[in-house]
Amino acid sequence: MGMTMTQKILAAHAGADEVRQGDLIEAGLDLLLGNDITTPPAIDCFRESAFGEVFDKDKIVLVPDHFAPNKDIKSAEQCRKMREFAKEQNITHYFEQGREDMGVEHVIIPENGLAKPGNCIIGADSHTCTYGALGAFSTGVGSTDLACAMATGKTWFRVPGAIRVNLTGKLGKYVSGKDVILSLIGRIGVDGALYQSLEFCGEGVAALSMTDRLTICNMAIECGAKNGIFPVDEITLAYVKERVPGYDEDTSWLYPDEDAQYDRELTIDLSSIRPVVAFPHLPSNVRELGSFSRIDIDQVVVGSCTNGRIEDMRKAAAVLKCRRVADGVRAIILPGSQRVYKQALEEGLLAIFVDAGCVVSAPTCGPCLGGYMGVLGKGEKCVSTTNRNFVGRMGHKESEVYLAGVEVAAASAVLGYIGSPDELGNM
């Protein structure tokens, strides 16, 4: 009996010829991730357990990005604890604020060539599943699991079953990976892939950019998936080779076997997808743009680990160029990394944002989780390119978050209500 992509990677890291759904395994890890919220309790556990030294200083990544630059005294103490631990343990990949390679964790790890095809990766952040876009098995864990893994270089998994998502066709105008994953979540629900691997296959994969794939895998957790994963193709290898000098690994084994067992198979025709919006208060509450009455808004956020890459900045700028944010609307742009920020600056995108009346922030997760740099007040409505719209996610429990792709978010900022770039005309 054959194996899925995820099962092949887990078998390789468990030192087994094969694994099956439901098996309990111990797997070696290629990369471990923590941020300024999840790492401090992991450090406490690490020290209380008297582990001493980390297993490999080169395989641990620590990123202060959620409340950094520091929001308040508590966040400053969280970051200080992580900073001191990184220095004490001589952690190679500690990304301090302001460094040219720093930014939001799930943007900078692929950007810096730290996640590679076939890797087994964990992170104390639920959106660690992002790196499946590169053909890695990558999933979120708790702080205690991170602490133990930092000491041993291993962790345990129950081998997941899988859903095969067959992609056909090509994306249309103003449609992106965000619309693909929101449409999928709307179709199967927030628990539709509970502890399963979402494995994307089919000829439609080649029509998706790496940015689309990273966005899709980033939100796999929003339908309960253990991980999302794409096959390694020429697009993947070109992306990796650009960021990992001399990369020449054999990736021919990173494909599902023809007789791999799937719990379920779905087909998505990319050409049939239209821009969509996830209404409060679930990512599954998806409606096609134009199918609902006018909804006036107070704020727009473009950025985050879901949509903070340079391609996202370019899309936002194309919509906002020579236009103005509507009166009464706050538009916040968050480049996902210092590299994205600098490139956006060099391409003149930041000037477009400022001229349009936007706030341009340093790379941070801030508003996504209601932390800072865009917290919502009672009754306020926000169109956001982030990944969650739960009750109180971005601020007051009576605020509302509408998830959308970059172009819809940017157009909404100009219109003052949720709408399409097609509605802008000559505005």
3-18 confidence digits (pLDDT tens)? 999 999 999 999 999 9
What residue has token string 């887990």?
10
Sequence spans of domains, the chain: 5-270, 279-423
The 3-state secondary structure of 272-327 reads HCCCEEECCCCCCCEEECCCCCCCECCEEEEEHHHHCCHHHHHHHHHHHCCCCCCC
8 A C-beta contact, residue 404 and residue 312:
no
The model's pLDDT over 184-226, given as tens digits with 9 standing for 90+, comes to 999 999 999 999 999 999 999 999 999 999 999 999 999 999 9
Instruction: Say how far apart CA 105 and CA 333 lie, in whole Å.
Output: 17
The model's pLDDT over 330-372, given as tens digits with 9 standing for 90+, comes to 999 999 999 999 999 999 999 999 999 999 999 998 888 888 8
When pLDDT is cut at 50, 70 and 90, the band that residue 304 belongs to is very high
Instruction: Say how far apart CA 427 and CA 420 lie, in whole Å.
Output: 13
When pLDDT is cut at 50, 70 and 90, the band that residue 425 belongs to is confident
Domain 279-423 bears CATH identifier 3.30.499.10: yes
pLDDT at 1 over 80: no
pTM value surpassing 0.75: yes
Neighbours of 101 (CB within 10 A): 13
Q: How far is CA 292 from CA 255, 286, 288, in A?
A: 41, 11, 8
Residue 48: helix, strand or coil by DSSP? helix
Continuous H helices in 51-104: 73-88
Domains 5-270 and 279-423 share a fold: yes
Q: For residue 61, which of 40, 91, 25, 100 has the smallest C-alpha distance?
A: 91
When pLDDT is cut at 50, 70 and 90, the band that residue 107 belongs to is very high
**End-to-end Cα spacing for the chain:** 59
Domain 5-270 bears CATH identifier 3.30.499.10: yes
